[in-house]
Amino acid sequence: MDWEGLEPITLRTDGFKFHSNGLSVENPDKEDGFLMADVDDPTFKEDGNPYTLAAQNRAQIEVLARKGYKNGELKRIQIVEFRRRIDDGAA
C-alpha cells in the first residue's frame, strides 16, 4: 500500500459501522463506488459524534485523512480528525 500524507479531504458519507470504526464514504477518486474509511479519531466512539450524525444525512464532511493506493487505485482512507460538516443541501 502506498500512503499519501495527511491532508484535508472532503468526503460524502453514506453510513457507518460503529463496532469496526468504519465510515462508508463515496469514493473521492471515482464518480461511482464506495469505500469503508477507517476512523482513528477518538471522538468516533462518543455518542452523537459528528461522523455518525453526518452519515445519517449522507452529508459531506471535511476531515484530516490520508489515502492509501494499491496499483494506482484508491483502496483505503484513514481518517484522523474531523474538521467540519459541509452543509450543501443534500438529503
When pLDDT is averaged across residues 23-43 and rounded to a whole number, the result is: 93
Closest CA to 35 of 44, 26, 46: 26
> Which of 18 and 13 is assigned the larger pLDDT?
13
Residue 11: the pLDDT is 96
How would residue 88 be classed by pLDDT, with cut points 50, 70 and 90?
A: low
Output the pTM of the full model: 0.88
CA distance 74 to 65: 13
CA distance 10 to 39: 14
Residue 53: the pLDDT is 93
- Output the 3-class SS for 34-78: EEEEEECCHHHHCCCCHHHHHHHCCCEEEEEEEEEEECCEEEEEE
